[in-house]
């Protein structure tokens, strides 16, 4: 194998990789500056606070700026799969190219050859999966085109470096990539109406924001089924209430809906309601009764108002416990969904089941927190 010729050009812009992070990604960039001299100056300027491990000039000259063991500052605000500290787990390679701002042009053969040699050398020393050899814009949504459309990923993949993502089997995509692919499939024919069921599941915060913008810009109608209050509040013009086997427009916002649920629950005696939700409501007092911390001794012989206070305190504690339980269930479901193995197995039914379950847990948690708060307010009013 060819060992690349390297010119050391140390940059002060680096720190230690954060503990527990493995070097398992390779991020390719273009410099977006007119010349390699300019790029080197910037990547070594302490005030710029940016760097990369390597820079490859258009003639193939290869510079090492930061030692591979150190954390170079090339990825900025970025994320991939569940990783947000890309700098700690990647090597950054800058390709000299003026970029879209100063005259984007082909990456010359000499540069691509040097890159191929460097990458082959890196891959012989570090275990980097093909799908984790990426462009800066793949991991940083703010970088729209970097290294851009002229970069030949297919050629690189043909040289055994990285994956041509177009050829990736769908089952090997991450949950977020699958969600984006489905969205692309749903919108590619420019439909007049979109029906979206929990579209923010699997999406990180930036993708959620992008979805909000896209939905607000969408000229057609959108029917949205969601437990995500932020999405509903920023996108929906009209809420519809589905219950009792009927669908009707709901004249109010999510706050009104919460108040409606609370007032209904407060207005009925426990155990009186039918159906699934009543089962949950009836569960609470049943669970509370034998609780060991019930201050029963203090209550005996006291006035009825004290007894009511005791009941309220027990109710608050029951909600508190339920909130804690649901919080644990939520973490468990989230961890299960974040497990990459789940997507390797391509078990759509299980992914869907977990997603649905997580949605239900979140919804119940929101309701339970409201009830907890309401019970606490009543308790404060009662004592």
| Site size toward Zn ion, by CB under 5 A | 3
Select from 25, 20, 14, 108 the least CA-distant residue to 67: 14
SS3 90: strand
For residue 353, the minimal CB distance to Zn ion (Å) is 39
Q: How far is the CB of 60 from Zn ion (least distance, A)?
A: 20
CB nearer to Zn ion: give 17 or 29. Answer: 29
Cβ distance to Zn ion smaller for residue 29 or 64: 29
The answer to whether the bond into 179 is cis (omega within 30° of 0) is no
- Give the residue numbers marked as catalytic: 94
Alpha helices (H) along the chain: 36-43, 99-102, 109-125, 136-139, 153-158, 175-187, 205-217, 229-235, 254-267, 275-288, 296-299, 304-338, 340-344, 348-382
Tokens encoding 279:
């089962």
Q: Which two tokens stand for residue 281?
A: 């409501």
CB of 92 to Zn ion, least distance (A): 8
Nearer to Zn ion, 29 or 227 (CB): 29
Q: Which of 101-109, 139-147, 286-294, 348-356 is the region at the interface with Zn ion (rule: CB under 5 A)?
A: 139-147
Sequence-distant (6+) residues with CB within 8 A of 333 are: 354, 357, 358, 361
**Shortest spacing between CB 55 and Zn ion, in angstroms:** 12
Nearer to Zn ion, 156 or 284 (CB): 156
Residue closer to Zn ion by CB (options 56, 235) is: 56
Taking residues 20 to 39 in sequence order and writing x for each that binds Zn ion by CB under 5 A, - otherwise, the string is: ---------x----------
Please choose, from the candidates 209, 210, 241, the residue with its C-alpha nearest in 3D space to the C-alpha of residue 225.
241
CB atoms within 10 A of CB 57: 22
Number of neighbouring beta carbons within 10 Å of residue 379: 18
Residue whose CB is less far from Zn ion, 30 or 372: 30
| Cα 144 to Cα 129, 138, 380, distances in angstroms | 24, 9, 53
Closest separation in Å from C-beta 82 to Zn ion: 21
> Does 146 engage in binding with Zn ion (CB under 5 A)?
yes
The nearest distance, CB 62 to Zn ion, in angstroms, is: 18
Cα gap 90→266, rounded to integer Å: 54
Per-residue interface string for the shown chain with Zn ion, residues 195-234, x marking contact by CB under 5 A: ----------------------------------------
What residues line the site for Zn ion (CB under 5 A)?
29, 136, 146
């Amino acid at each position: 194998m060819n060992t690349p010729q390297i010119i050391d050009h140390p940059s002060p812009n680096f720190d230690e990789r954060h503990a527990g992070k493995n070097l398992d990604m390779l991020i390719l960039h273009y410099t977006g500056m007119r010349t390699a001299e300019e790029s080197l100056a910037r990547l070594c300027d302490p005030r710029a606070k940016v760097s990369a491990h390597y820079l490859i000039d258009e003639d193939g000259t290869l510079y090492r700026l930061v030692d591979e063991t150190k954390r170079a500052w090339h990825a900025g605000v970025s994320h991939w799969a569940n990783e947000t500290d890309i700098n700690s787990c990647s090597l950054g390679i800058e390709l000299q190219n003026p970029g879209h701002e100063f005259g984007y042009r082909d990456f010359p053969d000499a540069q691509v050859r040097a890159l191929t040699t460097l990458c082959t050398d890196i891959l012989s020393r570090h275990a980097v999966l093909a799908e984790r050899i990426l462009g800066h814009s793949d991991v940083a949504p703010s970088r729209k085109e970097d290294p851009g459309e002229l970069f030949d990923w297919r050629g690189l993949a043909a040289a055994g470096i990285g994956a041509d993502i177009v050829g990736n089997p769908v089952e090997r995509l991450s949950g977020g990539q699958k969600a984006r692919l489905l969205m692309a499939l749903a919108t590619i024919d420019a439909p007049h109406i979109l029906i979206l069921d929990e579209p923010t599941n699997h999406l990180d915060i930036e993708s959620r924001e992008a979805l909000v913008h896209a939905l607000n810009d969408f000229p057609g109608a959108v029917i949205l089924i969601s437990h995500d209050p932020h999405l509903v509040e920023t996108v929906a013009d009209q809420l519809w209430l589905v219950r009792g086997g009927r669908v009707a427009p709901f004249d109010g916002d999510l706050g009104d809906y919460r108040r409606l649920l609370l007032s209904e629950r407060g207005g009925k005696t426990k155990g009186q309601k039918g159906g699934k939700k009543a089962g949950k409501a009836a569960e609470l007092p049943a669970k509370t009764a034998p609780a060991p911390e019930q201050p029963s001794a203090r209550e005996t012989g006291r006035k009825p108002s004290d007894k009511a206070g005791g009941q309220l305190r027990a109710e608050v504690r029951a909600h508190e416990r339920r909130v804690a339980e649901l919080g644990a269930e939520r973490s468990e479901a989230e961890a299960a969904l974040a497990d990459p193995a789940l997507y390797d197995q391509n078990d759509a039914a299980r992914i869907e089941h977990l997603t649905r379950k997580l949605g239900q847990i979140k919804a119940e948690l929101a309701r339970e927190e409201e009830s907890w708060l309401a019970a606490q307010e009543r308790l404060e009013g009662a004592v």
